[in-house]
Amino acid sequence: MNSPPAFERRSVTRDRLVSVLLPLYNAENYIGHSIRSLLRQTHENLEIIVIDDGSTDRSGEFVRDLAAIDSRIRYVAKTNSGIVDALNLGLTLARGVFIARQDADDISTPARIEKQVEYLIEHPTCIAVSGAHFHIDESGYFTGGRHYPSNRGSGDYTAYPAMEPYLPHPFLMMHASILKELKYRHTFHCEDSDLYWRAVRFGKLENMSEILGLYRIHTASISGASIIDGRIQAVYSQLAAISAARYDLMIPDLEFDPTLLAKCRKAKSLARIIDLFAPMLDPRELAYLRAASALKLVELSGFRPYRLEKEDLQFLKSNVNLKKLGGRENRRNARRAVRGYYRRQGLPKLIGYYAGL
């Protein structure tokens, strides 16, 4: 059967309502640029749902002013409880066939939404799509950085650390019916990867090679704020992988209690954070969590502003034995990560000591 003419496909694409979820918290310097990039989309059949998670600056005022001009903007204010609750509230309000994501400090290219809708329509086995983007700094200037993400398939939860299925979350678009069924869980600082582990059960996740937006890099990044946040992210990312493994093994899933974040921050160290989850894991899972979280923290340190502390390195040495990691690829990747960290920190004399582990 011949493909329909381009103008027919374009017409069908434009008929699809897209809901854009835009969580907001104290982003008065950026929110106007972010929303205007959506209002200027070539795909005009949009509803832009801005969920204000208790902002204390003038962010809400700016959004209300824009909403008075364009009825596609829906502004919802709530008390502060975090991005997961904000996104899940947005899901209950979304009416679109597709749901897109954007952060309050990022910018979409004019044809981003149209291209993603066309891609999902033309690739029926794909249920979620994201893509490439340029990096900008806090002032909106190009840093020279760019990211062209690869497609990682369904991920690998046997790797150390786990290799998650990956889509850049700020430029995500997914079928609304699937995203509403999955919802976001309180896997702090890795809500996106946890979502993707569960989404691959429904279909393919794919990244477009085209530039879809501008991703802002700044010091206020949540997961890059401190070494403690890095430890929390490392642990939760590997718990999400354990959750995916449990699904395939058809055993009861983990429960992610939202009150655990405060306990994790109080625990501070990687060892004590992991101890909080020990009662819900079997011995094999706990051993995996210790080794994989230590290696994930090393990986995160490669592009975060914090450095590992002595206790992190001691935990790494005590819980990771490269000779006992399953699979040659696991051992090679882990050794590369550890050696890379010590080279970046200017500690060549310690490479041999720790690389053997």
What is the model's pLDDT at position 233?
95
Domains in the chain with CATH codes:
6-216 (3.90.550.10), 227-356 (no CATH)
1 pLDDT tier (thresholds 50, 70, 90): very low
- In this prediction, residue 349 carries a pLDDT of 45
pLDDT of residue 353: 42
More confident residue, 353 or 61: 61
How far is residue 232 CA from its own chain's centroid? 14
Secondary structure of the chain in the HEC alphabet?
CCCCCHHHHHHHHHCCCEEEEEEECCCCCCHHHHHHHHHCCCCCCEEEEEEEECCCCCHHHHHHHHHHHCCCEEEEEECCCCHHHHHHHHHHHCCCCEEEECCCCCEECCCHHHHHHHHHHHCCCEEEEEEEEEEECCCCCEEEEEECCCCCCCCECCCCCCECCCCCHHHCEEEHHHHHHHCCCCCCCCHHHHHHHHHCCCCEEEEEEEEEEEEECCCCCCCCCCHHHHHHHHHHHHHHHHHHHHHHHCCCCCCCCCCHHHHHHHHCCHHHHHHHHHHHCCHHHHHHHHHHHHHHHHHHCCCCCCCCCHHHHHHHHHHCCHHHCCCHHHHHHHHHHHHHHHHHCCCHHHHHHHHHC
303: confidence class by pLDDT, cuts 50, 70, 90? confident
Point out the least confidently predicted range of 71-75, 220-224, 307-311: 220-224
| pLDDT tens for each residue of 156-209 | 999 889 999 999 999 999 999 999 999 999 999 899 999 999 999 999 999 999
Tens of pLDDT along 106-135? Answer: 999 999 999 999 999 999 999 999 999 999
Cβ neighbours for 86, distance < 8 A, ≥ 6 positions apart: 23, 24, 25, 51, 53, 78
Of 12-21, 55-64, 119-128, the poorest mean pLDDT is in 12-21
